Chains A and B, each alone.
Chain A
Amino acid sequence: MKINIKENIGPRCIIKEDGQKIYDAIYEVLKRGETVTLDFKDVSQFASPFFNFAIGQLLKDIKEADLRHLLHIENLNETGKMVVERVIENAAKYHGNKDYRKIVDDILAEQAKEAN
């Protein structure tokens, strides 16, 4: 499957809602083990919310190694590539379960570290 992002979304890949559209179009294809190519030709602007939902979200159910093998990205400029890498790295570490006590522990620990 190949998706021309500019035709489907436009020249700006910014908001999460547009990212969700891409996710919805490619998820089942990837789950079946088929390749997907996202062509970003003439897309000029990118932001993390779009990629969080379009690509990062895939890592809930697809291992990172499999995703990198199946998902091909074309014509993405350097800033877009950097954001995608950051999104994948972030999503790969995300577990989804919010341990509020641990979050408070982390907040207070960082504060204590800075105070010393």
Chain B
Amino acid sequence: MSQMIIYVPRINDGPKDFAKLFNIWTQVNDYEQHVRFDFSRCGFLRPNAVAFLGGLARLVESRNGTVVFDWDSAVNPAVHANLCQNGFAETFGSPFSGWTGNSIPYREDRSKDMNGIMDYLAYNWIGRGWVHVSNRLRDAISERMWEIYDNAFEHSGTEIGVFSCGQYFPHNDTLLLSVVDYGQGIPAKIRTFVGSDPRAQDLPASACLRWAFTRGKSTSTGSVARGLGLDLLKEFVRVNQGTLEVYSNEGYAIIDKDGEAFENRDISFEGTVVHITLRCDEKLYRFKDET
């Protein structure tokens, strides 16, 4: 049985690192059979990579391929520990169970499990105590983050679900969460939505993402007004001086306290990654009436 071996490189969470992930997607997407992920060349792996690789593995399996993660090849102790601590390794057949630490568990949601996801956000992510927030504020933050999942399930067309992973970094007091889907991608969805217009297929990905983040804009059909979720999320990230990055098809969006930017990139993938970074500064996380 022939097998494609993917050597997972060092992956951080900058644009070049996402490009590495999308390269891996391109290789695997074209192959679709038996894939082995080797970590021997990986000295560093962030949660965005974990969520992405997990979803990619399920994508291969959904097409009747097989995936093996070579745990023995994860010779870098930090990488090995990370893959085990967040439960990723156990999910994919390793005998090592996860444990509580700075990782936010790797999670797969095949369907929209509202209570499961909200518990994950409230108790595994924001509510873990890295930033002291009131219960009310914890809930409010989780509500905003829900919009990411709701968009993925409602609009992406994903057939294999949504994949998440996160981490707390004590050295710079930041909290990350990456949420990945392998649906059609936001620009592709919009181009299909307006497909009766001859200009649809030439709409730049950056312009599509900008539209998607505008209040009231939605590709939902029907009589119910939608299109608030991404705008609410955007508002929350900016107020709390966090960073929201979205990679979808060849488009890239970044929203932070300084504003927003939408770009076209050279490399594309079929799906969406939402990558959120929050600062764990308690002064940022208070309602006006909380002193």
Interface residues of B in 185-227 (CB under 8 A from A): 190, 193-197, 199-200, 203-204, 206-208, 210-211, 214-216, 221-227
Q: With a CB–CB cut-off of 8 A, which chain A residues contact B142?
A: 45
Q: Output the nearest chain A residue to B137 by Cβ-Cβ distance.
A: A79
- Is B221's CB under 8 angstroms from A47's CB? no
Does A98 interact with chain B (Cβ within 8 Å)? yes
Task: Confirm or deny: A14 has a beta carbon within 8 angstroms of a beta carbon on chain B.
Answer: yes
User: A45 CA to B145 CA in the complex, in Å?
Assistant: 12
Contact A98 B229 (CB under 8 A): no
Residues of B within 8 A of A60 (CB): 223-224
Distance to closest chain A CB from B44 (angstroms): 35
Chain A 83-104: CB-based contact to B (< 8 A → 1; otherwise 0): 1001100110110101011011
CA–CA, A28 and B210, complex, Å: 38
Q: Which residues of B contact A57 (CB under 8 A)?
A: 223-225
Q: Which of A17-64 contact B (CB under 8 A)?
A: 44-49, 52-53, 56-57, 59-60
Expressed in whole angstroms, the Cα–Cα distance for A56 and B218 within the complex equals 15
Residue in chain B with minimal CB distance to A59? B225
Our pick among A12, A77, A87, A110 for the contact of B228 (Cβ within 8 Å) is A87
Is the beta-carbon distance between B224 and A53 smaller than 8 angstroms?
yes
CB contacts under 8 Å to B, within A64-86, are 77-79, 83, 86
Count A-side interface residues using an 8 Å CB cutoff: 38
Nearest-neighbor residue (CB-CB) of B236 within chain A: A79
A47-B147, A52-B224, A111-B207 known; A104-B139 Cβ under 8 A: no
- In contact, B146 and A47 (Cβ under 8 angstroms): yes
Given the complex of chains A and B, what is the CA–CA distance between A45 and B147 in angstroms? 12
Interfacial chain B residues near A7, Cβ < 8 Å: none
Of B136, B200, B211, which one neighbours A106 at CB under 8 angstroms?
B211
**Candidates B112, B193, B232; contact of A48 at CB < 8 Å:** B232
Cβ contacts under 8 Å, A87 to chain B: 225, 228
Q: Determine if B291 is an interface residue (Cβ-Cβ < 8 Å).
A: no
Residue positions of A touching B, CB distance < 8 A: 12, 14-16, 44-49, 52-53, 56-57, 59-60, 77-79, 83, 86-87, 90-91, 93-94, 96, 98, 100-101, 103-104, 106-108, 110-111, 114
Identify 14 residue pairs between A and B in the complex whose beta-carbon atoms are under 8 Å apart, listed by A's number: A44-B135, A44-B139, A45-B139, A48-B232, A49-B154, A52-B225, A57-B223, A59-B225, A79-B139, A94-B225, A100-B193, A104-B199, A106-B211, A108-B203
| Chain B residues within 8 Å of A, Cβ to Cβ | 112, 114-115, 118, 135-136, 139-140, 142-143, 146-147, 150, 154, 190, 193-197, 199-200, 203-204, 206-208, 210-211, 214-216, 221-229, 232, 262, 287
8 tightest A-B CB contacts, nearest first: A94-B225, A111-B207, A91-B225, A48-B228, A100-B194, A79-B140, A104-B197, A107-B211
